[in-house]
Amino acid sequence: MYQLLHRSSERPWDMSSYALDSLPFADRDSDRHLILHMQENRSHLTREARLCFSVIALLFMVTSLAPAMKGQWLVPAFSMLAMAALTFALERHVKSRPASETLELADGHVRHRDSAGRIVQYPAYWMRLATEGRSQADLRLFLRSRDGAIEFGRCLSLDEKREVAPLIAAALVKAGGH
């Protein structure tokens, strides 16, 4: 999931979506910023996902019945341990902090901050957007310059990456990049 933020001179921080021509760099006002905040989607399990999880648990129980009838108690014990481990992993994942990134185009610079706190900053003038993908289901977004490269959007889904790419490309052109 992502949020496109900007600051106009008339009002404080405002969250909205833009058409490509109305990005906040239209008048090259130096106090306006474009900030793209990206975060991993941590939605609750859907009804279908809970049903699938229940079916897996039922299959573990059913497949361990025949060995249990023959006196092989390690199979049902392993099945219960496997379900407990899967449940524990899901609970830990839900409680962990989601990955996030912030990409800011402001004052002729591009800044990228990830969830680990690393900050990378390059001049926007030499920046260009590059995409890489090994297949239709794979897409990686890069901002490249002569000083280095920034990979961004790692925590976005494929559709979100496709939505964000033209917005960043237009913002780079209006900010002075290539």
State pTM to two decimals.
0.61
- Mean pLDDT of successive 10-residue stretches along the chain, which has 178 residues: 61 40 43 76 76 86 88 89 87 83 84 88 86 86 89 88 87 71
Q: Please report whether residue 102 resides in a domain.
A: no
Residues 6+ apart with CB under 8 A from 90: 45, 53
**What pLDDT, on a 0 to 100 scale, did the predictor assign at position 105?**
84
**What pLDDT, on a 0 to 100 scale, did the predictor assign at position 18?**
40
Task: Assess whether 164 and 122 both reside in one domain.
Answer: yes
Q: Please report whether residue 87 resides in a domain.
A: yes
> Which structural domain range is residue 151 located in?
2-42+115-175
**Strand 140-144 to strand 128-132: parallel, antiparallel, or no bridges (unpaired)?**
antiparallel
DSSP 8-state class, residue 21 = G
Q: Are 142 and 156 in contact (CB under 8 A)?
A: no
**What pLDDT, on a 0 to 100 scale, did the predictor assign at position 29?**
47
Q: Please report whether residue 74 resides in a domain.
A: yes
**What pLDDT, on a 0 to 100 scale, did the predictor assign at position 178?**
55
**What pLDDT, on a 0 to 100 scale, did the predictor assign at position 177?**
54
Task: Assess whether 119 and 163 both reside in one domain.
Answer: yes
Tokens of 107: 């004052």
Q: Are 33 and 22 in contact (CB under 8 A)?
A: no
Task: Assess whether 25 and 67 both reside in one domain.
Answer: no
Task: Assess whether 123 and 164 both reside in one domain.
Answer: yes
Task: Assess whether 120 and 165 both reside in one domain.
Answer: yes
Task: Assess whether 171 and 122 both reside in one domain.
Answer: yes
**What pLDDT, on a 0 to 100 scale, did the predictor assign at position 142?**
92
Q: Are 151 and 140 in contact (CB under 8 A)?
A: yes
Task: Count the domains in the chain.
Answer: 2
Rounded CA gap, 106 and 99, in Å? 23
Rounded CA gap, 162 and 159, in Å? 5
Task: Assess whether 19 and 36 both reside in one domain.
Answer: yes
